[in-house]
Copies of this chain bind each other. A is one copy, B any other.
Amino acid sequence: MTINTKINIMDTALKLFAEKGFSDTSISAIAEEAGIGKGTIYWYFESKKDLFFSIVEQRGQDYFNKVLKLDNDSIESEQIIYKYIKYTIEFIDNNYDVAKMLITNTEIINNEFKKMMELKQQQVISILEKALKRGQKEDKFRGFKSRDIAFMIMNIAKSGHNQFNFSIEGNIDQKTQKIYDFIMYGLIKEERKT
């Protein structure tokens, strides 16, 4: 019946982790929902945590690789920011469950995993920081601490995620455009100060 039991397990687990959180999702529940035996999960994964990590890895790898490719001086700095936002929105849209799972379960996961996640985040921040610095050198962007801004951009990009039953409206491109526009020009209508 199951062409690929492993995928079946991961999909089911992802759904339940996102719905109820890591701690409140039992191996039994995953097995039952997936229509397999409890023991089978342990044939494919070493532990519950291993299952969680595997899901994140599988789903997040694509996104992360795309972002890593933005670390390229031949891409215009605005484009890097635009694409970073787009990739992030896209990832959240296509992997709503993983995103939710990551956002809501970060802390309950072990330190090794947290360190890995931190490392990746630091890499992303560095890529954005580098692009921002370049943009400043090229006199495109205003003067500021680029690392701070990189951090703010990271946070604002998550606005594509539905929190508290609310999210920015629109499809991926519209959301991206809105966030990008806000980041670039801010709120103020009046003449730009320099």
Contacts and interface: CB of A to CB of B under 8 A. Distances in A.
Contacts of A107: 20-21, 100, 104-105
Contact of A151 (B118, B121, B166): B166
Interface string A140-161: 1110110111011001101100
Interface stretch (A2-10, A51-59, A68-76, A180-188): A180-188
A115 B158 CA distance: 21
A112 interface: no
Nearest to A121: B164
A164 B122 CA distance: 8
A122 B166 contact: yes
Interface residues of A, number: 57
A178 interface: yes
B189 A194 contact: yes
Contacts of A105: 107
B178 A145 contact: yes
Nearest to A165: B118
Contacts of A20: 107-108
Contact of A185 (B23, B152, B165, B186): B186
Contacts of A163: 121
Contacts of A185: 142, 185-188, 192-193
Interface in A3-61: 20-24
11 contacts: A21-B108, A122-B165, A140-B188, A141-B187, A142-B188, A142-B189, A145-B178, A148-B168, A152-B156, A184-B188, A191-B192
